[in-house]
Structure 1
Amino acid sequence: MGRKRKPGTEWMPQRVYKTPYAYQYHPASGGSITLCSLNASQRLVWKRYEEELSRLEMKAGSFAELVNDFFKSKSFSKLAPRTQNDYSSYGTKVLKVFGKMSCASISPKNIRMYMDKRGVKSEVQANREHSFMSKVFGWGYERGIVTINPCLKVHKFTEQSRTRYITDQEYYAVLNCASPMLQAAMEISYCCAARQGDVLALKRSDLQDEGIYIKQGKTNKEQIKRWNPRLKAAIELVLANQLVKSMKWVMSDEEGNHISATRLRHWYTAAKVEATSKHPNLKFDFTFHDIKAKSISDYEGNKQEFSGHKTAAQVAVYDRKIKVVDTNE
């Protein structure tokens, strides 16, 4: 049992002490680490303590160290912003399990066990986290940091592509229950076959004479989506409903700041709930991302050029409208 803290120091983390000049952390392994000056807040002391504790736990050769090095690498900085955010999220998940393990001790068996357990809740997320780990190990292998990539021969779960096509009746039922900002976001997504993240990322400078400039966050594909009356109406709607005129963002909140994906999802969910009560005969089991699929499915021209996808196979994932074909007479 440790010694009782002196009065007034009960709030301090374990092994943290006050010196005449600073707060110091004395790890069990020995030595001392200065955290911050004596005039620092309790919150800052705890923050610095947790940072140093995390750093000490990131032992040389651990998977946590490899992930940290990857996140600091030029390879990571070259990835699309959306991919960087996704990788950061996946990293948080896998480090809870593998972070303290040495890279050399992680085997295909460990990866398989993780996949099976993670797949109970979400096979798709298990696959994404598998891909992230494989990317990190592959990066380390090419640089001589690790000797194998234990993910290579571990099979992912078979994923079924979404086939949900939003009918016009379903789309307009939700659109008519949406707030003006959500209406504009849905219409921009439909007109441009744009992802939710790309709609929210639109800047005032992207509104050009020929159309809307969009750089896809996932693929970095650059396009100018030509103006048409419907797209112009969507932009006019969103700008007319900005409570504070943002000089930067097209989709902005009441303070002129960037609207978050979480907030848009909240609006979208609320609109679907209202639409369900008004139209109990319709199904609303579709996501905002399915609007992009509806857009590509409905487009009459070159779908690959319109969508900006690199391959026909990628386009096929989004082309979900059942075709009506002629019959023999």
Structure 2
Amino acid sequence: MRLCDLSATKSMVWQEYEKQIELSNSNNTVSKLVREFIDSADFCELAMNTQKDYVKYSKKILAAFGPMQSDKVQPKHVRQFMDILGQKSPVQANRHKAFLSRTYRWAFERGKVASNPCTGVKQFKETPRDRYVEDYEYQAVFNTACAVVKAAMEISYLCMARKADVVKLHKSQLLEQGIYIKQGKTGKKQIKEWGPRLRAAVTFAKAESARVESMYVLQQKNGSPFALASFDQRWRKAVIKARLETELPLDFTFHDLKAKGISDFEGTTAEKQRASGHKSESQISIYDRKVQVVPTVESKK
């Protein structure tokens, strides 16, 4: 690249050189860093749900930090961002910080930044959800739900599976031994063994969709799978209807059904971990929510 004419003085050359260096550095923004990370092989190796979440989180990160020089972002800026976002949702503030930290960690390892500004910034305390769905509550919503939601409830509960893994279930995943599920979040591969109730749920779902040929167990009228937002609408409709009919609060989420499955599973913590596909026993403690009945001094005698 030519800086200036051959007739330029030494001071003019240095002046132009410094200008070009400054211009080059101005392109090292957080916006560029985020874009490079999302385009990277490391990002592509993440679970699909994690990728979608990170893209969602990037919007607020770019709105706050996008034009800033990547090496100019300091822990105090991250703290300020979290405090503002944390006023409405501490959990979301933590998730956004995790994405920003992941981006900087990736960049630091490749010499793109000098440090990670998220290091040392304390997250908000998160209280693990402990809502256990009682059998009568489950049945109340089940009774008012449409066929799709009924089948999804049963599969999620019996297989201890996440909503995203149930809603997109392929008929090719229905094997002789059971239902093959590769967890979208952890990548864990399992075959959930058949039982009478699980077979009945799948048979019911397939019968309801027999009018249109489709590769999905749960399908829309045209044979296409449900978007999560569309499925959520059906779930909310069932819950609202059940509340009106029973006058019960029914303040649980669809994700709580997985926790109910783990809680109701008869076995040790290690057996629950193996059946649910979690990576550690500590994660099981979050999902095992049924209040335990323990002996008293007199009942033990």
| CA displacement 1:243-283 (0-9 Å, x = unmatched) | 65343211211111110110111011111111111111x22
- Is the CA contact (8 Å cut-off) linking 1:244 and 1:253 kept in structure 2? no
User: What code does the residue aligned with 1:212 have?
Assistant: I
Tell me how far 1:201 sits from its aligned partner: 2.1
Among 285, 289, 292, which residue is 1:323 paired with?
292
Among 97, 105, 110, which residue is 1:143 paired with?
110
User: What code does the residue aligned with 1:213 have?
Assistant: Y
DSSP 3-state at the match of 1:69: helix
Among 195, 208, 211, which residue is 2:178 paired with?
211
Tell me how far 1:155 sits from its aligned partner: 0.4
CA distance in 1, matches of 2:106, 2:184: 22
DSSP 3-state at the match of 2:179: strand
Query: TM-score, normalization: structure 1?
Result: 0.81
Asked if residue 173 in structure 1 is aligned to residue 113 in structure 2, the reply is: no
CA distance in 1, matches of 2:32, 2:272: 44
Tell me how far 1:158 sits from its aligned partner: 0.4
- Is the CA contact (8 Å cut-off) linking 2:160 and 2:257 kept in structure 1? yes
Aligned residues: 270
- Is the CA contact (8 Å cut-off) linking 1:243 and 1:254 kept in structure 2? no
Asked if residue 312 in structure 1 is aligned to residue 281 in structure 2, the reply is: yes
Identity %: 45
What value does the CA root-mean-square deviation take over the aligned residues? 1.0
- Is the CA contact (8 Å cut-off) linking 1:243 and 1:253 kept in structure 2? no
DSSP 3-state at the match of 2:226: coil
Asked if residue 298 in structure 1 is aligned to residue 264 in structure 2, the reply is: yes
Among 37, 44, 52, which residue is 1:77 paired with?
44
1:124 alignment counterpart: 91
- Is the CA contact (8 Å cut-off) linking 1:192 and 1:225 kept in structure 2? yes
| CA displacement 1:101-158 (0-9 Å, x = unmatched) | 1111111111000000000110000000000000000000000000010001110000
- Give unmatched runs, 5+ long, in structure 2: 1-25
User: What code does the residue aligned with 1:220 have?
Assistant: G
CA distance in 1, matches of 2:170, 2:42: 27
1:200 alignment counterpart: 167
Bigger share in helix: 2
Q: Cα distance 1:216–1:246, how it changes in 2: closer, same or farther (>3 A)? A: farther
| CA displacement 1:21-52 (0-9 Å, x = unmatched) | xxxxxxxxxxxxxxxxxxxxxxxxxxxxxxxx
1:267 alignment counterpart: 234
DSSP 3-state at the match of 2:180: strand
CA distance in 1, matches of 2:174, 2:42: 31
User: What code does the residue aligned with 1:295 have?
Assistant: G
Q: Cα distance 1:246–1:220, how it changes in 2: closer, same or farther (>3 A)? A: farther
User: What code does the residue aligned with 1:285 have?
Assistant: D
Tell me how far 1:310 sits from its aligned partner: 1.1
2:251 alignment counterpart: 285
Q: State which drifts further: 250-259 or 235-244.
A: 235-244
CA distance in 2, matches of 1:85, 1:198: 15
Mapping of residues 20-99 of structure 1, within 5 Å = 60-99=27-66
1:133 alignment counterpart: 100
Tell me how far 1:161 sits from its aligned partner: 0.1
- Is the CA contact (8 Å cut-off) linking 1:170 and 1:283 kept in structure 2? no
CA distance in 2, matches of 1:194, 1:322: 21
User: What code does the residue aligned with 2:290 have?
Assistant: K
Structure having greater relative contact order (Cα 8 Å, sep ≥ 6) = 2
Query: TM-score, normalization: structure 2?
Result: 0.88
Tell me how far 1:204 sits from its aligned partner: 1.1
DSSP 3-state at the match of 1:224: strand
- Is the CA contact (8 Å cut-off) linking 2:214 and 2:224 kept in structure 1? no
1:34 alignment counterpart: none
- Give unmatched runs, 5+ long, in structure 1: 1-58
CA distance in 2, matches of 1:244, 1:199: 21
CA distance in 1, matches of 2:189, 2:90: 32
